[in-house]
Structure 1
Amino acid sequence: MGVTTRAGRSVRRWMVVVLAIVAASTLGAVAGAVAALVRATPDLEDLRYRPHQTTYIYDRKGRVIRSLYIENRVPVSIDQIPRVMQQAIIAVEDADFEKHRGFDVRGILRALWVDLREGGVVQGGSTITQQLAKIMFLSHERTLTRKLRELFLAIELERRFTKEEILETYLNEIYFGAGAYGVEAAAQTFFGKSIREVTLAEAALLAAIPRSPYYYDPFRYPERALARRNFVLDRMVEEGYISPRAAAEAKAQPLGVVSRNDGRDVSASYFVDYVLQQLYERFPPDEARDRIFGGGLRVYTTLDLDLQRAAEQVAARFPVASTDANGLPQPQLAIVTLDPHTGDILAMVGGRGEGNKFNRAAQATRQPGSAIKPFIWLAAIDRRVATPATVIEDKPLQYTLPDGTDWEPSNYDGRFVGPVTIRTALEHSINMVAIQLLEQVTPGVVISYMKQMGITTLVEPPREPNDRHLALALGGLTRGVTPLEMAAAYGVLANGGILSRPRAILRIEDANGLVLEETQPRQQVVVSDVTAYLVTDMMRGVVQWGTGRSAALPGGRPVAGKTGTTEDYTNAWFVGFTPDLVTAVWVGNDEQRVPMRLPDGTNIGSGRAAQLWRDYMQVAVRNLPPRDFPKPAGIVEGVRIDTKTGLLAPPDCGIPESQTRLEIFAPGTQPTEVSPNCRRSWFQWPDWLRRPFEGLFPPDGSRE
């Protein structure tokens, strides 16, 4: 046995001192690291916060039109998530979730064994709680510090929250690919249904994806997704959640994913953009984007997806004459439908072509051509300047302009028919009559009526003494009009003189269902119901036997409307209405200097617009019972007039029947004078004596 030397004892003392210093330093470093972790720990109450919830835009029947999101997420409570979904995610991600307190050593070892057995990474070692800590509070960097913070946060989460709260948050936070965050958004994205409705096979597929959303994307890689889903089913059997038979039946099911557009074939992109603009106006600028795209709003709109589908399908069939420098088909078009009684926008097509954002239904101010004429007629009727029986001569006109040049307008066909009632002139869109009627009413008065009827794009005409601005009668406007405002203005006629301003949003709710705003129709009486009915009745003739015959609907359904084509064929219109719907159709080239022509050289005019209107509207009114335009009290009916003079044509007064018609009037405006063309002799032969000699004598009983 040796003797310990003084030198040996000295070395040992120094070693103890050094070890003590090292231990103290290590403990200090560990304590410092722990302190740093504690200081860096975020407020774990954030676990209760639901960031970036998806906003949904619905149609008037509660059907989803579009979802808006920064992260597509629809939070659901744990009791809304089927137990089979919870079990599937636990089985594949964290089998001991109910047992551990944040991390699981056995789980890490088991995951390592499974990965070795499968020859790849199929099961991770992190618990659900660790994954949630990383998702909610940490970055994805692969460092020891980040891993230590993850473990510390997982322990804290387990200490502060129940297992149900942790699992609920996890299932609402994890990313499933295809833009879907959380199980509800994932179920809607992949299956077109709520998470409440998923089957065992579908739950297993959802649980399969989060491990690698891109690699197991069922849209891109269905074989990989199928294999992973079946692995999840096997894990559920191993954990005792389901029977082998149930797993086998689920494995026999196809993936069952729907198309990326959730089975819908309606874009409604122009309407959605129109609604978005209004939403931005409703919130402060600094918070609008977060509220709209991340606030989980529920926006209920006026759109009818059935009508929108019909409008988009008809627009897609319209012929393409050329493609412009931007790759957009030309001519372009717009279709907008309103409920004239409420102003609700039921359908809106603002153009066609991929990436085409300019909304021609609401933003394009275009020359209306003869579609402006009903406003002239309305002003004349309402001011009692004219009645439907007023006769104006269709003749050549010439005006001297302020610059000394002469303006000689013409009719579409270059012909003149002489004296004609303004009813017939409207039916056949006779320019010379429109100009003379406008001259009587004055352009300023007509523009004031158009403004009252909802057209805001107008500019007052020049007031030079020699410039009467009579080109207004042919649709010559300084700025033009939009299809949306034309539909609203024509809707005044359909609604008995009441303007219903266009409305797109019915109600806005927050994520909890609290109503933030509920709109009401904005209405105003702008003309009398008698005036509206008289003009509507004249416009029915446009469709029955005038320029709008192409717009007639099957079965003789009552329709009123007006065509419009600009002189250079850059714009073509048909705006028409039934008692229930008003629709404006515009067709035109975006480059307004280029005439619209088909490849064979045929001009595209208002006849094409009327056909487009008819093709769409016969679908739109399919489920609406036919009914006539309501007739207001006081209308004077059954007055037979001479269409050459507008005066009375009593029975048997000798005017050919083809030259007479039964006319309607506002009270007190009907003619009282008999037409000079009604020639009667001083003596009327009895019928029994006159009848055998008919043909020998003129109908009025006198010789010519």
Structure 2
Amino acid sequence: MFSVVIIGGSCGYLLAAQNIQTDLPDIQPAYTTHIYDIKGNEIATVHTEEDREPAKIDKIPTNLKNAFLAVEDVRFYQHIGIDFRGVMRALWENIRHRSVTEGGSTITQQLARNAYLSQEQSYQRKIQEMFLALKIEHRHTKDEILELYLNQIYFGQGAYGVQAAAKTYFGKNVEDLDLNECAMLAGIPKSPNYYSPLNNLKAAQERKSTVLKQMVKYGYISASTAHATAKEELHLAKPVSKVGKANYFVDYVIQTMIDKYGADAVYKGGLQIYTTLDMDMQQKAEEALKNLPEMQAVNGVQQPQGALVAIDPATGYIKAMVGGRGTDMFNRAALAERQPGSAFKPFVFAVALESGYTPDTIVADTPFTKYGWNPQNYDRSFYGSVPLSSVCAQSLNVATVRIADDVGIDKVIKCAKDLGISTLVMEGEKNDVNLSTALGGITRGVTPLELTSAYCAFPNKGMYVKHTAVAKVLDRDGNVLETAPLPGKRVLKEETAASLNSMLRGVVAGGTGTAANINGDVAGKTGTTSEYHDAWFVGYMPDLVVGVWIGCDDNQQMGTMTGGTTPANIWTTFMKSLGR
């Protein structure tokens, strides 16, 4: 296999060298992308600003160049545009996964792709990329290629190139960046939305540490320097306030499209993106979430924060999404991983019903000990023999743990994962394969978007349809690139969903969620975490599931707020504004 790659690459290089054209292919002009709501009304346009400021290679800090080499292409100055070691590694991974999961791309190949090609993951596009990389290497010096690459790459927030990124994130010119800032910038392009410090500072800091470790590995900096730099705070530029409609939702759509088609397609490709957003519902969601209490600010951001997500359970269409108070860019609906508390319990009850329990099955709510752990109920009392429906309505912890122990926590985890919860940790020193998961005490937490989406299977008769914000995408010529996938998959039996719906209606009718009791069709579940760090209410009617989360970005305690108070009240305000 290695011989085939070497011979093929060599022949390709000779062929390319003999057929070097005077000019490389023309770079396509930029077209504006348009984003529409579910009624076809335009809600946003996306385009790149062409007033980018290219930075000369001698102005780019050595630390920034070395950081990119360490994480992207450490053999950049040794290879001919294609790194055959990287190709072999990627080829093996692609064969192992039976798909194109790794590219083994050099910096030169990335430049070829970003400047001249699409982001399509195919072998044909990969071959084109290799030939263009050879042409680029033939035409330019290594420093020229690195300069072109660093001025072409996308950093999120609409910033292309290191100078624009330095201005966007730190409010300074690229030559003034220190090691801390260089390591941060070098980590962003792997996933510009997720690793943007303006969107997700925690993830950005973790990625910065990874870049610093790579720089140590390849001898660019010492371990002590990396250790000290990893602890340094970032002094970020204040983000430019966005004025527009449904900004959290629009940003989520943009990043979803970037992940699928690449930044150039979104910012320059003239896509026509038809979303699932109901603008009337969105405006009412934003109004409802204004009913948050006031606590002290954290890093200039008022606390507590909140999130609201509304989804059509039959289609998975996200009808409304609010990711915070609107004063910063962190979309807590899609990105904040928070402890769900008792809002996780319906997965336990679902497995119990699938395993032969009924709402009338008697469960012992008596002292329970396993592996030295003694779970307690909220009021520190025990209730003896209790039907499963009351365990759900009153959110009894001890009985819930006893049920999970009986049916198997592995089945509960599988149910949650089948319903789209992607954050469960299955391996490692800290993992979720334990009974505390039954009470929502999980390692990473869940996002409001995924938890709300998971509940959609309950009113949808056990069918799970993955949430989506995009109904249809057209290219600039009107060709259909994608339509929303339907239908979903069966996760629960129809009779299981019916029994669970009955139990969750009991939560609202006479349990912990009575603040949401606006009519007999309402079902839902409250969630409150230890020390009152998180408060949830996920409630639904047959045609709409709405999740509300409230919490502080730094996990400070919110007095004695429970899921049945402010979150349920916000849910009620929102639903009543819809005429429910």
CA distance in 1, matches of 2:474, 2:429: 50
| Aligned residue number for residue 420 of structure 1 | 386
CA distance in 2, matches of 1:561, 1:453: 16
1:357 is displaced (CA, Å) by: 1.8
1:604 is displaced (CA, Å) by: 5.3
Matched residue type, 1:362: A
1:585 is displaced (CA, Å) by: 0.8
1:512 is displaced (CA, Å) by: 3.8
1:351 is displaced (CA, Å) by: 1.3
Equivalent residues of 2:527, 2:562 under 8 A apart:
no
1:561 counterpart (524, 547, 563): 524
1:374 counterpart = 2:352: no
Q: Tell me the alpha carbon deviations over residues 491-546 of structure 1, each in whole angstroms, 9 at most, x when there is no partner.
A: 01110000000111111223343333323325111111110110111100000010
Flag structure 1 segments of 5+ consecutive residues without an equivalent.
1-45, 73-263, 625-704
Equivalent residues of 1:299, 1:509 under 8 A apart:
yes
* CA distance 1:50–1:442, shift in 2 (3 Å): closer
1:337 counterpart = 2:310: yes
SS state at 1:506 partner: strand
Q: Tell me the alpha carbon deviations over residues 420-446 of structure 1, each in whole angstroms, 9 at most, x when there is no partner.
A: 101011100011110111110111110
CA distance in 2, matches of 1:564, 1:604: 7
CA distance in 2, matches of 1:365, 1:522: 27
2:440 counterpart (475, 493, 496): 475
406-415 or 455-464: bigger deviation: 455-464
1:569 is displaced (CA, Å) by: 0.6
| Aligned residue number for residue 316 of structure 1 | 290
1:588 is displaced (CA, Å) by: 0.7
Matched residue type, 1:340: P
2:253 counterpart (275, 300, 323): 275
Equivalent residues of 1:266, 1:312 under 8 A apart:
no
2:540 counterpart (572, 577, 586): 577
| TM-score, scaled to structure 1 | 0.49
| Aligned residue number for residue 366 of structure 2 | 395
* CA distance 1:53–1:460, shift in 2 (3 Å): closer
SS state at 2:507 partner: helix
Matched residue type, 1:578: M
| Aligned residue number for residue 613 of structure 1 | 571
1:499 counterpart = 2:499: no
| Aligned residue number for residue 409 of structure 2 | 443
SS state at 2:543 partner: coil
| Aligned residue number for residue 362 of structure 1 | 334
2:557 counterpart (566, 571, 595): 595
CA distance in 1, matches of 2:257, 2:428: 37
Q: Tell me the alpha carbon deviations over residues 104-135 of structure 1, each in whole angstroms, 9 at most, x when there is no partner.
A: xxxxxxxxxxxxxxxxxxxxxxxxxxxxxxxx
Q: Tell me the alpha carbon deviations over residues 139-196 of structure 1, each in whole angstroms, 9 at most, x when there is no partner.
A: xxxxxxxxxxxxxxxxxxxxxxxxxxxxxxxxxxxxxxxxxxxxxxxxxxxxxxxxxx
CA distance in 2, matches of 1:411, 1:382: 25
Q: Tell me the alpha carbon deviations over residues 6-35 of structure 1, each in whole angstroms, 9 at most, x when there is no partner.
A: xxxxxxxxxxxxxxxxxxxxxxxxxxxxxx
CA distance in 2, matches of 1:541, 1:565: 18
SS state at 1:56 partner: strand
1:353 is displaced (CA, Å) by: 4.1
* CA distance 1:462–1:380, shift in 2 (3 Å): farther
SS state at 2:532 partner: coil
Equivalent residues of 1:311, 1:349 under 8 A apart:
yes
1:383 counterpart = 2:341: no
SS state at 1:316 partner: coil
1:525 counterpart = 2:490: yes
1:351 counterpart (321, 324, 334): 324
SS state at 1:366 partner: coil
CA distance in 2, matches of 1:572, 1:585: 8
SS state at 1:440 partner: helix
Matched residue type, 1:414: R
> What is the RMSD computed on CA atoms of the aligned residues?
2.5
Equivalent residues of 1:398, 1:407 under 8 A apart:
yes
303-312 or 60-69: bigger deviation: 60-69
Larger RCO (alpha carbons 8 Å, 6+ apart): 2
SS state at 2:293 partner: coil
| Aligned residue number for residue 40 of structure 2 | 62
Kindly report which structure 2 residues correspond to 1:287-326, keeping only aligned pairs within 5 A, or say none: 288-289=263-264, 291-324=265-298, 326=299
Identity of paired residues, percent?
Answer: 43
Matched residue type, 2:480: V
Matched residue type, 1:616: F
CA distance in 2, matches of 1:612, 1:330: 16
CA distance in 1, matches of 2:330, 2:545: 23
* CA distance 1:331–1:279, shift in 2 (3 Å): same
CA distance in 1, matches of 2:442, 2:435: 10
* CA distance 1:375–1:463, shift in 2 (3 Å): farther
Equivalent residues of 2:311, 2:453 under 8 A apart:
yes
1:513 counterpart = 2:478: yes
SS state at 1:586 partner: strand
Kindly report which structure 2 residues correspond to 1:225-240, keeping only aligned pairs within 5 A, or say none: none
Matched residue type, 1:483: P
| Aligned residue number for residue 586 of structure 1 | 549
1:265 is displaced (CA, Å) by: 9.2
CA distance in 2, matches of 1:334, 1:377: 25
Flag structure 2 segments of 5+ consecutive residues without an equivalent.
1-25, 51-241
1:449 is displaced (CA, Å) by: 0.8
Q: Tell me the alpha carbon deviations over residues 305-330 of structure 1, each in whole angstroms, 9 at most, x when there is no partner.
A: 11110111111232222211x21111
Equivalent residues of 1:59, 1:305 under 8 A apart:
yes
Equivalent residues of 2:426, 2:433 under 8 A apart:
no
Q: Tell me the alpha carbon deviations over residues 337-373 of structure 1, each in whole angstroms, 9 at most, x when there is no partner.
A: 111001011111111242x222111111111101111
CA distance in 1, matches of 2:454, 2:383: 30
SS state at 2:320 partner: strand
1:334 is displaced (CA, Å) by: 0.9
| Aligned residue number for residue 56 of structure 2 | none
Q: Tell me the alpha carbon deviations over residues 280-302 of structure 1, each in whole angstroms, 9 at most, x when there is no partner.
A: 1232x4xx32x322333221000
Equivalent residues of 2:310, 2:545 under 8 A apart:
yes
| Aligned residue number for residue 536 of structure 1 | 501
Kindly report which structure 2 residues correspond to 1:72-221, keeping only aligned pairs within 5 A, or say none: none
1:407 is displaced (CA, Å) by: 2.4
Equivalent residues of 1:378, 1:532 under 8 A apart:
yes
CA distance in 1, matches of 2:516, 2:244: 25
CA distance in 1, matches of 2:474, 2:415: 37
Equivalent residues of 1:461, 1:469 under 8 A apart:
no
CA distance in 2, matches of 1:417, 1:339: 37
* CA distance 1:429–1:56, shift in 2 (3 Å): same
CA distance in 2, matches of 1:545, 1:596: 25
Bigger radius of gyration: 1
1:71 is displaced (CA, Å) by: 6.0
CA distance in 1, matches of 2:469, 2:503: 31
CA distance in 1, matches of 2:569, 2:319: 20
| TM-score, scaled to structure 2 | 0.59
CA distance in 2, matches of 1:614, 1:266: 26
Q: Tell me the alpha carbon deviations over residues 617-672 of structure 1, each in whole angstroms, 9 at most, x when there is no partner.
A: 2223x2x7xxxxxxxxxxxxxxxxxxxxxxxxxxxxxxxxxxxxxxxxxxxxxxxx
1:460 counterpart (423, 426, 436): 426
| Aligned residue number for residue 172 of structure 1 | none
